[in-house]
């Protein structure tokens, strides 16, 4: 109990003194996860929607694989990306290992299937509602996907937020590919893991509270920006 209290205290101290290290790693956390989220959404939203409207031979198989990939263990993804970017790996020459870029790549791989799968579920419903109309209007595949994404944007936002949640709270993959290097690749989660290992529970908890507050803040911000639950039922 004492530790939790001390943690809260530490969190307040860090925030109110605008601790420069805290700000730096918080910003890096955001930079990595928001970039990964944008890239993953750009891939996953059209992909999930396309899977909902398109009938092809291995569709069922593709959906099962996608759903399975939702549970992709971050540590294994981290290991794969590590091997790809390590000096002897195929992309070794790019020198990306232990950089935020490698962390972004790992997170994109982790959250894309999650966003695509939730998107697919949501879009399947909307598609069954719109199907006849969009077919009758002679729309192209691109026009269909655009219409569904536009009109299903509220549910898609939930999908994206789920992806963001997974990304910002993820530690396994970015620890391996980023290396938790101070001032270079240290983010909130890797810092928490480090401080816990060092036995500095107050600081670890403080960082933890900051992380939770950050996630809440972003969710509220996005919800109020997009006016969910305000105008009508969609």
Partner 1 sequence: MVKGPLSVSLDSVVVRRDGKLVLGPLDLDMETRGITVVLGPNGAGKTTFLKVLHGVERISDGEMHWSVANVQAREEQAYVFQSPIVLRRSVAQNLAYPLKLIGTVKSEISMRVSLWARKIGLEDALDFPATRLSGGEKQKLAIGRALIRMPKVLFLDEPCANLDGRSIREIEELLHEATLAGTSIIMTTHNLGQAKRLADSVLFLLGGRLHEQSPASVFFNIPSTSEAQSFLNGDIIE
Contacting residues toward partner 1, per CB under 8 A: 126, 129-130, 132-133, 135-139, 143, 147, 151-152, 231-234
Nearest 10 degrees: Cα torsion 104, 158, 73, 188: 50
CA dist., res. 185 & res. 199, Å (int): 21
The least CB distance from residue 114 to partner 1, in Å, is: 24
Residue among 139 and 215 whose Cβ is closer to partner 1: 139
Instruction: Please provide residue 23's backbone torsions phi and psi, each rounded to the nearest 5 degrees.
Output: -60, -40
The least CB distance from residue 127 to partner 1, in Å, is: 12
Residue among 17 and 140 whose Cβ is closer to partner 1: 140
CA dist., res. 175 & res. 24, Å (int): 17
The least CB distance from residue 231 to partner 1, in Å, is: 7
Instruction: Please provide residue 107's backbone torsions phi and psi, each rounded to the nearest 5 degrees.
Output: -70, -35
Q: CA separation (Å) from 129 to 44, 67, 160?
A: 21, 23, 22
Residue among 147 and 187 whose Cβ is closer to partner 1: 147
Residue among 87 and 230 whose Cβ is closer to partner 1: 230
Query: Is 75 in contact with 172 (CB distance < 8 Å)?
Result: yes
The least CB distance from residue 160 to partner 1, in Å, is: 18
The least CB distance from residue 130 to partner 1, in Å, is: 7
Closest by CA to 47, choosing from 130, 138, 106, 118, is 118
Task: End-to-end CA distance of the chain: give it in Å, rounded.
Answer: 44
């Amino acid at each position: 109990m004492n530790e939790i209290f001390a943690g809260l205290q530490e969190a307040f101290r860090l925030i109110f003194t605008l601790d420069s290290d805290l700000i730096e790693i918080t910003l890096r956390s955001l930079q990595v996860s928001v970039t990964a989220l944008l890239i993953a959404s750009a891939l996953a939203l059209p992909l999930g929607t396309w899977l909902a409207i398109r009938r092809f031979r291995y569709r069922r198989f593709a959906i099962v694989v996608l759903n399975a990939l939702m549970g992709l263990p971050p540590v294994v993804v981290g290991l794969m990306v590590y091997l790809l970017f390590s000096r002897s790996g195929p992309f070794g020459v790019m020198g990306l290992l232990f950089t935020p870029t490698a962390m972004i790549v790992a997170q994109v791989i982790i959250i894309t299937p999650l966003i695509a799968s939730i998107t697919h579920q949501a879009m399947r419903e909307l598609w069954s509602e719109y199907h006849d109309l969009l077919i009758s209007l002679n729309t192209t595949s691109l026009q269909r996907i655009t219409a569904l994404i536009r009109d299903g944007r509220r549910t898609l936002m939930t999908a994206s937020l789920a992806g963001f949640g997974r990304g910002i709270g993820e530690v396994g993959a970015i620890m391996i590919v980023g290396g938790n290097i101070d001032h270079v690749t240290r983010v909130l989660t890797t810092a928490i893991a480090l401080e816990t290992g060092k036995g500095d529970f107050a600081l670890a908890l403080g960082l933890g509270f900051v992380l939770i507050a950050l996630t809440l803040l972003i969710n509220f911000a996005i919800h109020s920006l997009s006016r969910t639950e305000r105008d009508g039922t969609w």
